[in-house]
Structure 1
Amino acid sequence: MSMQNAIDWPERHLPGTGDNFVSNEVVVRGLTAGAVWRHLVDTSAWESYYDNVAGISFPDGGGPELSGGLAFRFGTFGFPPLDALVVEHQAPAEGVPGRLSWTAKQDGSPEERLDVLHARPVEDLPGGRVRILTQETRIGRPAAEPARQIPNPMLNGHQAWLDGLVRAAAGKERS
């Protein structure tokens, strides 16, 4: 059974209520949610398959594997490093999708403030397929300008992350 609505959205970050919301999804054959999950939660692998992330650190210790309640920092989309916190972490299991989400914040002036919720369910589907969904809501002026661009750079960036994640989980090199 597919859990198409597997993201628990806090009211503040409900899709369509922020300044920028994007949704990307891939369904591929020949991978498992477990294989994808290993590459998704291991931040030491991110830069090997996704060009739009850098400077990953763990200010309170821990890492490089994400876990519930873990604080981390990373740079993306040209922002200074964002302060992130894993708010949901459930590894996939038989009949249960993996669920990972984090908040990310940037403080400062109204022109600089950013509040993000990034969610990623990963689930096995019948027929040896896996579904990977990435959805993100951004609130703040730094999110509003990219939302007006066509194509939305956040949409393209997240698609590149999904494509790289699939390649990494399949053991393929970058193209």
Structure 2
Amino acid sequence: MSDILWPQGYVPGFTDNFCSNEVIVTGLTTAEVWPFLAIPSRWPDYYANAADVEIHDGKGPELRLGDSFFFRTFGFPVPSRVVECVPPVKGQPARLAWHGWAGEIGAADRLDVHHAWLIEDLSEGRVRILTQETQNGAPARELAKAVPNPMINGHQDWLNGLVAAARAAKA
């Protein structure tokens, strides 16, 4: 199975916080799941922790490499920029990743994240959806200590909602 590609400064184990969530389900394909992830205006429809989504500069509705966008999640306003975007192609995983931030550069409450997604078709009609996020900054250090972990739980809700939305669209 494929791995997330990490930029320098965001490699798990060397950041202030890391979370990883994955599902493998039957009855869906990468191509069927992709539009529910790559079109962020759909996120609030199936994931209660995403709000106020907008893509800047008149782009969209589907995210592309280099696009800037905004959304609110986990109580943070998160301006973001797409740093990896590989739509579904037979035989290779689809990938979407963005750098997001909250707060001013150098501020004590600054948070920087790399949130990556990988979707790949597996044998026997299965699809794997992996999402991982690394974070740097004081808010990340606090989130890493929280029990239960809000990032793990929130991202699992996102995965579950993504699968349910893709399945509902097929029905």
- Same fold, TM-score > 0.5, yes or no: yes
Identify the match of residue 164 of structure 1 among 152, 161, 164.
161
Aligned partners of 1:110 and 1:141 also within 8 Å? no
1:43 matched to 2:27? The reply is no
1:152 matched to 2:168? The reply is no
| Structure 2, gaps ≥5 residues long | none
Instruction: Report the counterpart of residue 34 of structure 1 in structure 2.
Output: 31
Identify the match of residue 97 of structure 2 among 101, 104, 112.
101
RMSD: 1.2
Residue deviations 1:56-105 (CA, integer Å, cap 9, x gap): 122322123111110001110001x2110001110111111101000001
Residues in 2 aligned to 1:112 and 1:65: alpha-carbon distance in whole angstroms? 31
Residues in 1 aligned to 2:165 and 2:146: alpha-carbon distance in whole angstroms? 29
Amino acid across the alignment from 1:103 = H
Aligned partners of 2:41 and 2:54 also within 8 Å? no
Identify the match of residue 13 of structure 1 among 10, 13, 17.
10
Count of residues paired in the alignment: 168
Residues in 2 aligned to 1:126 and 1:51: alpha-carbon distance in whole angstroms? 32
Residues in 2 aligned to 1:106 and 1:44: alpha-carbon distance in whole angstroms? 20
- Runs (4+) of structure 1 exceeding 3 A deviation are none
Residue deviations 1:98-151 (CA, integer Å, cap 9, x gap): 010000012336332011000000000000000000000010111111210112
Instruction: Report the counterpart of residue 54 of structure 1 in structure 2.
Output: 51
Instruction: Report the counterpart of residue 138 of structure 1 in structure 2.
Output: 135
Identify the match of residue 92 of structure 1 among 88, 94, 111.
88
- Give the TM-score normalised by the residue count of structure 1: 0.92
Q: What percentage of aligned pairs have identical amino acids?
A: 52
The offset of 1:8, in angstroms, is 1.3
In structure 2, the residue corresponding to 1:136 is in which secondary structure?
strand
Residues in 2 aligned to 1:112 and 1:62: alpha-carbon distance in whole angstroms? 30
Aligned partners of 2:56 and 2:67 also within 8 Å? no
Instruction: Report the counterpart of residue 110 of structure 2 in structure 1.
Output: 113
Residues in 2 aligned to 1:57 and 1:69: alpha-carbon distance in whole angstroms? 14
| Structure 1, gaps ≥5 residues long | none
The offset of 1:18, in angstroms, is 1.1
Amino acid across the alignment from 2:85 = H
